Amino acid sequence: MSCRPDLLPALFLDRDGVLVEEHGYLTHWAQFTIFQNTINALLRLEPFSCWRIVVTNQSAVARGLLAPAELEALHRRLLEYFAAHGVTLHRVFACPHLPCPDLPGGRVEYLRPCRCRKPEPGLIEQAFEVFPIDRSRSFLVGDAERDVEAGQRAGLTTIRLCPPGKPVPQTRAQHLVPDLGTAVDIFLNSIASKPSRVPRNHR
């Protein structure tokens, strides 16, 4: 465990399939579906000293389906939606790239390899440059093995979601759970911080 008192544990969350229902490329706010049980799970984090950070691959930008500014606007609205329901998410880090240089109709500047597209750990490392995070007590929750790999490469404990009714995947994650609420239970049981406030507007 870190000896620096200013460092806080972080819960890193994938977007599609964890925070919002996954159904193709989401290019308009009306396509976002956020379940009440997701909000209920995240509300339980509010009394605790921890960062809540979203890390997400969003190749819709590289594919030409969404402009970078439009993606940023969607993520601002996402944070505002959760805040209106009492949930603090401190930041969204998104990768707009896709390593397919010959993709028809794509945005050429984003059709390239990068260090931020999961399973690369770049998005997580970006967060460490912005927030005072205790790596040894931080977790990542995702619904795909690329999330697990990114988290483990960044030195995080990983939790993979597998909802009831879906085939049980082979995974290298330390925990395989049916829902976000169970993932939050595991995270909260692991951190030793006292209930206190974390700045809501750390940007």
Q: Active-site positions?
A: 14, 16
Question: Phi/psi class of residue 17: alpha, beta or left (left: φ > 0; alpha: ψ in -120 to 50)?
Answer: left
CA atoms within 13 Å, Cβ hemisphere of 171: 24
Instruction: For 8-66, give the DSSP string.
Output: B-EEEE-SBTTTB---S---SGGG----HHHHHHHHTTTTBS-EEEEEEE-TTTTTTSS
d(C-alpha 201, C-alpha 178), whole Å = 31
CB atoms within 10 A of CB 16: 19
Provide the 3-class DSSP secondary structure of residue 72. Answer: helix
Instruction: Please answer whether residues 98 and 111 qualify as being in contact, where contact means their C-beta atoms are separated by less than 8 angstroms.
Output: yes
d(C-alpha 113, C-alpha 166), whole Å = 31
| Structure tokens given for 156 | 């995080």
Work out the angle at residue 57's Cα, subtended by the Cα atoms of residues 56 and 62, and round it to the nearest 5 degrees.
140
